[in-house]
Amino acid sequence: MPSRKKSCMFASAFCACVGSFVVLCVVLATPQWVSSEVRFSRTGSNVTVSLQYGLFRGTCEQFVDAGLQVSKTTFQVTDAPLSATSRALSVTTIVVLVLALLCSLLSSGFTGTNALSNPYQTFLGPTGVYTWSSLCGLLTLVAMILFPVNVEGNSLSEELARACSTSLQARLGSRHSYGYSYWIMLLIILLNAASLIIIYFYDHASYSKKKEQERPIENAPKDVILF
């Protein structure tokens, strides 16, 4: 059985890893990633298409000239007629987050195992937690970079707006604001960093104690050494 100190520290890291897993599920499931307003010209009028979407689904509204709402529809991002680059980045973002979810699950398993037992294999200990928590945080950061690149660089919102409406001509302008589904990915990174810090302090304290036990002669009184 692990010591009480080890159980407490790994249990704390386990809570952080489980929290990361839950937040990742929320990120994948909710559509509040970005809200965009894209303004287009149309014969005889101007149209503003308002979108709110995530990785899989979203909503689309059209406003003509003085704010007259024409329609509101829902759409599937993966079914929209996107360019090859936009589709590739969308799929890549999903794959990266699914991998981060898997890493978070493995990290939760490793920390839970160490909180209840003392694994014989080295990789099942702190090394495994370092690996999977670091990968989870890194993959989440990559997803946070890929999504704005797709929205801002590849004009993903414009492509989705054109798929929602017909007879749109030149784009006059666009505005984007990122929602909570995007920003809570920072919480995932912080939770993984917290698990790493907890395990580091435990591992460092354990290493220092082990070194002290390997060299007891250095801390022995001089009269004992002479004897």
Q: Is the pLDDT at 225 greater than 50, yes or no?
A: no
User: Residue 19's CB: how many other CB atoms inside 10 A?
Assistant: 19
Phi, psi angle pair for 33, to nearest 5°: -85, -45
pLDDT tens figures, 136-158:
999 999 999 999 999 998 889 89
**For helices 185-214 and 4-29, what crossing angle results, to 10°?**
160
Percent pLDDT > 70 in the chain is 86
pLDDT value of position 89: 93
pLDDT tens figures, 149-202:
999 988 898 989 888 877 777 888 889 999 999 999 999 999 999 999 998 888
Q: Hey, what amino acid is at 136? A: C
* 136: CB partners within 8 A, 6+ apart: 20, 100, 103, 104, 107, 188, 192
Structure tokens at 20: 């990361």
Structure tokens at 29: 């499931």
What are the extents of the domains in the chain?
4-202
pLDDT tens figures, 20-61:
999 999 999 998 899 998 888 877 778 888 899 999 999 988
* 190: CB partners within 8 A, 6+ apart: none
What would the CATH number be for the domain defined by 4-202?
Answer: 1.20.140
Percent pLDDT > 90 in the chain is 43
User: Residues 71-78: what's their mean pLDDT?
Assistant: 84
Q: What pLDDT band is residue 224 in, cutting at 50, 70 and 90?
A: very low
**For helices 84-116 and 156-164, what crossing angle results, to 10°?**
110
Alpha carbon 82 to chain centroid, angstroms: 24
3-state SS assignment for residue 167: coil
Does 210 or 146 have the greater pLDDT score? 146
Q: How many Å apart are CA 16 and CA 192, to the nearest integer? A: 7
52 close to 58: Cβ distance less than 8 angstroms: yes
Q: Is the pLDDT at 123 greater than 70, yes or no?
A: yes
Give, in order, the Cα–Cα distances in Å from 116 to each of 23, 37, 96, 199: 24, 51, 30, 15
Sheet with strand 57-64: strands edge to edge: 68-76, 57-64, 45-53, 34-42, 171-178
User: Residues 58-74: what's their mean pLDDT?
Assistant: 77
For 22-51, letters b (16+ CB in 10 Å) and e give ebbeebbebbbbbbbbbbbeeeeeebbbbb
Q: How many Å apart are CA 27 and CA 147, to the nearest integer? A: 13
* 218: CB partners within 8 A, 6+ apart: none
pTM over the 0.75 mark = yes
Does 139 or 79 have the greater pLDDT score? 139
Q: Hey, what amino acid is at 5? A: K
Does 102 or 6 have the greater pLDDT score? 102
Structure tokens at 205: 């304290």
Structure tokens at 86: 């936009």
